[in-house]
Structure 1
Amino acid sequence: MKMPGRTICALFLVYVVGVPAETTPAGQRILQLLQNHVATPQTPQTLAEVAGALGSLALEGQPAHEGAISAIRTLITTLLQDITTQHQAAQTAIDNTTLYQACISAKDIAFGKANALTSTTTSTTTTTGAPTTTTIHADLATCKSQEADLIVKNGNCELDASRSAKLATCELYDDMNYINAGAARAARCGDAAAFTGTYEEYLERDIQTLALLQARSKNCSAATTAFDSKVTECAKAFDELTSKVQECLELEAHLAQIHALPDSSTPAVTQEFCAPWAAKVAACSNYDACYTSEAVMEESSFNAAKQVANSRQAEYLALKRIDCLLTVLASSAAEQPDNLTACVSAAHDVSSLELKKPVQPAKAECVPGVQPAGCVASR
């Protein structure tokens, strides 16, 4: 079956770029194969440039000029390398455990300060009345309760659901929003021949198509606005949680200082040891909250990165398929049917671009030590 390069170019451009062209029966078969096996790119402008270069090359005759083939393949290789680099950067980012280490460092610093209290306090038999801790205990209990509520609120922010809704809604709009007037005209002219209604019905269909496009555009804008609002809401929730954790830490430190003071009913030596132990209990509590918050944020970040990774895989697959079509153009007319069949049946592995979910670091052990007699942990 003879398939001139001009026919391949015309059919390929109709599908990828949107340039109208007349086709032969042999060309119709190629068009069907291309429609079945060349994915719509996620970044159409970049891929369209590659497709345009391929189409221009085919118009020059068969087989295609080797230098031109090499130039286009160089461009495709660069794009594939860029995709791989982006994937590696994304994987490195989600594998980063710096924030987990920051939680451990904060705990270690707090323990160091608690240990310092042991060496700076001295025994005394003074029976001066210490400030009451009743009010501080109540405030700390309220603070811890609010902190727990904010942890739940931060975890239930549903940023991922809002992001998915935006992507799904805007994808419907993008599917029918052509890159430019030429691409739209090509699509409309392409199915005009198959339309059997009256001219008025043909125009009415255009009106309905415009109405659907405008409706999808509004839906996309609304979903985008909702997502932006959700981003702000989630950021606020995280800031509130961070502020509350600091507030509770300060209350715990204040309570530990009061416990370190002697009073008339408890020997001063007992109060000396309460201060460092209470500070360690507070440090362990803060570490638990920090670790939990980081785990929630890590899950959210991975889900967001997975959405982008899916787009990279689709672009990578489209480029590999276009690269295969270069082989068709580089071959003679007699070889083209077999080469095109080989392109259609070729399987391109994109598993290397799949993001691997990071394994959370093991939670560090945090033991405040034996509770001194007479000391009570703050709640």
Structure 2
Amino acid sequence: MLRRGRPPLRVWRTRSTTKFLKYRKRFPASYRSKNGTTPHEANQTEKEDGMRLCLVIAALILCNLHSTVRADKPFELKKNERIVAVGNSLAERMNLFGQFETLMQTRYPEKEIIFRNFGWPADEVGIQQRPSNYTTIDDPLEVFGPETFFCFFGFNESFAGDSKESLDAFKQNYRNYIAEQTKRFTKDGKQPRFVLISPIAFESTGDPLQPSGEEENKNLAAYTAAIKELAEEDGHRFVDLFTETKAKFGAKPGNQYTVNGAHANEQGYRVIGQLLDGSLFVSEHPLGMGTSKFNEILKWVNDKSWFHAQDYRMLNGWYVYGGRRTWDMETFPGEYQKIRKMVAVRDRYIWEMAAGAKYPISRTIRRRVKYSFPKRCSAAAMNASAKCASRKS
């Protein structure tokens, strides 16, 4: 089948060859260099050399990513472990950039990890503001029932400064938060685990209208040290993102890994994902980033995260559980159930892709996930489409 607007590849090559030969005839022997090349050919050689240099640089970058310092003791995960990310925007933006979850899913496809992101911008260990009546229908975190918490706190608290009083208050609030979540989610005598993750460094963007990062990084270093002390004193796992990202962010001037110095971009989350993976697990990742399989799974991880966000942090939450609520207790609870089932379908799809299934679940499910759920349609419409597809399959 031919592509519209373009001749067949064979014809296209023939025309290119003909054009090149005609161009070559314009240069007599006197125009050629000592090695017999024309200016056009020399330019082509320079381009090829440049491409080779780019490939070498890319290979060095990949080697550098794989040289991440690895953990001395592995962080063990059980099958179907329920993991949540909580905290500030560093966690919440993983809904957009799911590199870390993809690394976990592809590292342990047999574990079938159930990962959800409950990060919320501006959250602190002592303050988690939510819309009024947020949990009247139900509490999505309690419905999920986490067994392991990945805690991303410290950045917002750092604006209080690095005084002893501020740091002591931060540690006490952190302890209170952990104690509260432990009480809520202890099940059958088994307490949840907590991984305390430091904030990332502030990147100096070079923009005179933005902070230079010197004062910010001084405070962030103090809060990273406080989190490490708390983890050692209370027996929690600690991950230091600050030290590694400070070195990484300072290697080149300008915006490289963040959008504004504070919030990581896609490249930043690649680095963060590698650091988290290296700090939690001993062995090298079996797949690594950048492969076609990793990128395919990453696409569906991000897709799943978008649907999950419609459960715990939907865009128009003020209408559903805020001041403009309609208290539609007939349809809203059912819509939440449908969304959660749609997220669970994507979990299964991701697990089977990571395990190497040729056709995860079925090709019908894949078509349904890809085409049948436009982001603007209602959950009821999505569910009706899902039922129709399941009947056909």
- TMscore range, shorter length: under 0.3
The structure where strand makes up a greater share of residues is: 2
Superposition TM-score, scaled by structure 1 size: 0.24
Greater RCO structure (CA 8 Å; 6+ sep): 1
The structure where helix makes up a greater share of residues is: 1
